[in-house]
Amino acid sequence: MQSADLYSFVTRVRDTAPLVHCLTNLVVTNFTANVLLAVGAAPAMVVAREEVAEFAPVANALSVNLGTLDLPQSRAIRAAVDAANGAGKPWVLDPVAVGPLAFRTQFALELLDAKPAVIRGNASEIISLSGGTSSARGVDSTAATDAALDAAQILALNTQAVVAVTGETDYITDGRRVIALSNGSPLMTRVTGVGCALSATVAAFVGVAGSRDEHWTATVAAIAYSTVAGELAARDSALPGSFAVAYLDRLASLDAQAFEATLVQRDVALS
């Protein structure tokens, strides 16, 4: 893909400050809001069942993260998703730790029927959601990569969502096309919430997409932008405390030239 096409989403987010409604986990609320502000979006953490249905239609997109799901939150998420769908607003599902834990796994499977625009998870989560049973912890071998890509394709075709499998390499597919991104840094896994906030960033980018046709490109753009920012931040600092600060700074300032010079992408043939 053209780097300029991807970066155009960054410009759109900065210019229009999309309102991103987040129902996320207790650990990452603050960092997620700061990441959204850094990329130029407007975070809104309206969480009560009494309010989500009123708020979701006002937002440009909804980001749902199951990291600390409990019963009250599951009801609020359900109401928010239904309201977003009713208003034609896209929503993103981050199925944290789905697979080993029954309560959230069952809920995530139910949510698939509510047509997320994008699903972003690691290999193990995506395999679980697609109906597979894998203990894959990453995409670190050819077999594991193939299993994750198969699962992502199945999930994308079954749900009509864009599916992103993130890890050392990130794969984004709409079931017909796959792109692989190879930016980032291991430090991104040493700061809590980087992955969760990435899902909210995807929501921001999908929230400025002109139509459903752009969701795949918007998702690639969000992940490419974030991982390039992470890679450059890791050049600023090799330790996690200062890396987290540098990551926010890079997200707020990464320009088109540095983005293009750093981006590593390739097309992947689907089986």
Is 99 an interacting residue with respect to a second copy (CB under 8 A)?
Answer: no
170-173 and 162-165: which strand pairing?
Answer: antiparallel
219 is known to lie in a ligand binding site: no
166 is known to lie in a ligand binding site: yes
Q: Which residues pair with 162 in a beta bridge?
A: 118
- 104-143 binders of a second copy (CB under 8 A): 104
3-state secondary structure of 110: helix
- Residue among 22 and 178 whose Cβ is closer to a second copy: 22
Are 189 and 240 a contacting pair, CB within 8 Å? no
Which phi-psi region, left, alpha or beta, contains residue 175 (left: φ > 0; alpha: ψ -120 to 50)? left
12 is known to lie in a ligand binding site: no
- Residue among 175 and 184 whose Cβ is closer to a second copy: 184
Residue 31: CB minimum distance to a second copy, A: 6
Is 50 an interacting residue with respect to a second copy (CB under 8 A)?
Answer: yes
Q: Give the residue, chosen from 7, 18, 20, 34, that forms a contact with a second copy under the rule CB under 8 A.
A: 34
Residue 220: CB minimum distance to a second copy, A: 24
- Residue among 72 and 86 whose Cβ is closer to a second copy: 72
Provide the Cα torsion 200, 153, 161, 251; round to 10°.
20
Residue 215: CB minimum distance to a second copy, A: 26
Q: Hey, what amino acid is at 218?
A: A
Is 87 an interacting residue with respect to a second copy (CB under 8 A)?
Answer: no
193 is known to lie in a ligand binding site: yes
* 64 sits in which H/E element: strand 61-65
Query: C-alpha distances in angstroms, 249 versus 10, 73, 163, 255?
Result: 15, 32, 28, 12
Distance CA 203, CA 227 (A): 16
Residue 30: CB minimum distance to a second copy, A: 6
Distance CA 117, CA 216 (A): 9
- 217-246 binders of a second copy (CB under 8 A): 237, 239-242, 244-246
Binding site for a second copy (CB under 8 A): 25-31, 33-34, 37-38, 43-51, 54-55, 58, 67-72, 97, 100-104, 189-193, 237, 239-242, 244-249, 252-253
